[in-house]
Structure 1
């Protein structure tokens, strides 16, 4: 054991802060007056930053260069900052004291600005305060998706295949899980600027956490459905799928995978090639989805001109109020409230450094439905988008996005007739062979939560950006329950209790 590791081991035997395997420093931060957890606190160690989760917890990966005498700096809006050597933290709970606000002290630090003048200063100092050009960002993204089936009613109108009866359709309906959760995490390097479509992504590692047994139930039903169809239709048939005035055509051989004869070498090679191509497509799709998600998050930063949160560039569209003053550590901060005067979608608060006029935090939420579509029995309602962004100074003195959290909610409805008609042009007489006719009434609600933590930001030139080659060889590792060792050796934001305690039904049955 090295001297540094040995010193740390001795220290942490006597301290309450968790120090696991000489690699990780973790603790919980709470309000000293209420004992409630303080979320979204900035924790820094040797110019490396971390954010506490909504439960006030953080974990830090300790590099070999870290010494017990190195200071941990903790700061949060409205609280007194803490900065002292790691060895002086004697408990695994850290208490933050609310900071008293002396308005005079803040006001005299600058001229008495109006809210509009404050935003003018923010805009004037954007280039000085932020990286607006191409950058490389080391980041961690966690997505949490919760789905609830609100309604799944149907009426069987006609079925010429006896096996497709009410009992079978009821079993399908009852097997579909009414509630489902899915989590995915990814660490990578993102290259790009303010435009969503100009991003490049190299994925380092990724995971996904969900209940695979629910997927297997659906796969079992699909196999049963396919076997019924195979027994009752002709291989050269085609299907007309109709819903009211809309319809599409599907050939029968597109519905099923043909079983490969193990003695047919050519068929096996073709099947292997197809499998490899599908695997490559999955990797490309995963990388493309993550790249698009990150690009959309970044383009919405309020420091960029085309942001959805455009209060800096279009202040006349908002009612502005200088609501309060507070502190981020020793820095005095203006608290500016904005509410739309007209058709804008969001309200919220901006926390602006009174010294250099940098936005250090923005809280936002929608004031009305963002998208509402309803036509011919199909409906989509995006009713929720709320979250926060936190910025902090990087090693070069410029502010960078440190943390971005947003929760989106939507409801989808489908209330329409549905017909599946088998036709065959090679059969004498009527082409129509079989028909399944239903009236469907389905409603689903979903919530997506995105948590983005940015660790390092470095400018890149146009040439460097053009030379970046994306890595599309990573697929997420499946986990039936959360494995804290999966991210060992990497900095991530601490998972909340729901993720830590997630266990698939298959694991519970063991």
Structure 2
């Protein structure tokens, strides 16, 4: 009894010192009670998360002592510090940074905005490294189609009974209704290890992948195309061979519907590790501070107009706030950069399409009945300095709107009896909305041995969830979901 009497208080004391474990959820606000997105919530020296667009965060304090420090910070705001023992699920307010030096600095400092941008470009190779890097990454992809118009009109249906035509029209009406009335978003979350050896060699290992998807209302472009194909093929004779024509072009002399059923090429593409790796690398490379990235406002200094709007501080480091917009029609973005006074590294960049600008486009509407325009884009990238002196990405967010229009006539002609034909006009129009977020949980130098030892799989084994639960990612450092994702729930 004496042993137990003294043992329990001792164990309780040890637990309080060495493991103050719980999940902390909260919100970071400004003085005016506005949410602060992309604020850093950090425990100790290197462990932390970033608030989402609504200012919310969730972080686990497992393995931290009560006396460890918690730091909540964001560019333009005073840092808030406290201890783990005082850190609880609550709202945290950051005071806006008062820049008393800004007026004197902006009027008396000899360093002009052009000089700052010159030094940024002179120090790119010194500040950033893109090879021999081993990243641990959390990725979230949100996508849905905002339908504008869909029309499916049968021109000829030789050999079809009245009942068959009725069933075809029923399927057509269902496809039209689901597209135009779509309110369903789908989310894809994954934790992965990305090893980048150089510009041409990289490997990806997926640790966990989850889809939040209403499979009855999947509105991805891939699934929409697949449903259009199935709508026709389900009502044709699968024992026959057809010639398919579209507009002026003969697409095939021998389409077998049985052969098409043998393999699901679309599903293989969606679940391909190679495709996911390519998409992830594209986001990273496009948001790199280099002269080959999408962020041309960093290096195309003759084509942009810059203004030194103010200064702020990140802890004790002074940071220039520089706004930019196109000076020539050959560039597309406007936004804000935050640049270190010490290293001339870009710490953060926020960008969006300038008024009237568009991105990639493909317009063969008159010839092929197809049009595609990237008509909306905005995003943000944040960098953090590592122990090796280089700056590596900490967070990337990008929203893209892609307008699409397809108006094509199709004709299925039975090879054995050329008089049997099924012809229709297909017209669909809408906007595909996509948002991608990458949170770089950790980064370290990649060794050649580690790279060679990693065997890259070919497919991703996704787990499909019908509702969101905080238990899904409770053991991982991820981006706190927005409220719309927390409310995701597919009725049985």
Q: State the TM-score, normalized to the length of structure 1.
A: 0.83
Deviation at 1:475, TM superposition (A): 1.2
* Match among 225, 229, 237 for residue 236 of structure 2: 229
More moved, 311-320 vs 464-473: 464-473
Deviation at 1:405, TM superposition (A): 0.4
Q: What secondary structure, in the 3-state scheme, does the structure 1 residue paired with 2:272 have?
A: helix
CA contact (8 A) 1:362 1:390 kept: yes
CA contact (8 A) 1:132 1:304 kept: no
Deviation at 1:167, TM superposition (A): 3.5
Which residue of structure 2 lines up, in the alignment, with residue 172 of structure 1? 171
Which residue of structure 1 lines up, in the alignment, with residue 161 of structure 2? 162
Which residue of structure 1 lines up, in the alignment, with residue 312 of structure 2? 326
C-alpha distance 7-422 of structure 1, shift in aligned 2 (>3 A)? same
Q: What secondary structure, in the 3-state scheme, does the structure 1 residue paired with 2:281 have?
A: helix
Q: Give runs of aligned pairs for residues 57-456 of structure 1, distance below 5 A.
A: 57-64=56-63, 66-89=64-87, 92-104=90-102, 107=105, 111-160=109-158, 161-163=160-162, 167-176=166-175, 177-178=178-179, 179=182, 180-192=184-196, 195=199, 198-214=201-217, 228-230=235-237, 235=239, 237-249=240-252, 250-254=254-258, 257=261, 282=268, 285-342=271-328, 343-367=330-354, 368-375=357-364, 376=367, 377-424=369-416, 431-456=417-442
C-alpha distance 320-221 of structure 1, shift in aligned 2 (>3 A)? closer
More moved, 286-295 vs 208-217: 208-217
Q: Distance in 2 between matches of 1:224 and 1:114?
A: 63
CA contact (8 A) 1:334 1:354 kept: yes
More moved, 40-49 vs 489-498: 40-49
Is it true that 1:470 corresponds to 2:456 in the alignment?
yes
Deviation at 1:169, TM superposition (A): 3.7
Deviation at 1:56, TM superposition (A): 0.8
CA contact (8 A) 2:336 2:349 kept: yes
Deviation at 1:149, TM superposition (A): 1.9
Deviation at 1:396, TM superposition (A): 3.9
Which residue of structure 2 lines up, in the alignment, with residue 24 of structure 1? 23
C-alpha distance 43-90 of structure 1, shift in aligned 2 (>3 A)? closer
Q: Distance in 2 between matches of 1:287 and 1:487?
A: 21
CA contact (8 A) 2:19 2:62 kept: no
Q: What secondary structure, in the 3-state scheme, does the structure 1 residue paired with 2:470 have?
A: coil
Deviation at 1:30, TM superposition (A): 0.9
Q: State the TM-score, normalized to the length of structure 2.
A: 0.85
CA contact (8 A) 2:157 2:421 kept: yes
C-alpha distance 165-152 of structure 1, shift in aligned 2 (>3 A)? farther
Task: Note the alpha carbon deviations across 1:336-386, whole angstroms, 9 max, x for none.
Answer: 122222201222211001122121110011220112322122111110110
Q: What secondary structure, in the 3-state scheme, does the structure 2 residue paired with 1:116 have?
A: helix
Task: Note the alpha carbon deviations across 1:266-310, whole angstroms, 9 max, x for none.
Answer: xxxxxxxx89xx89x849943112101111011112412201112
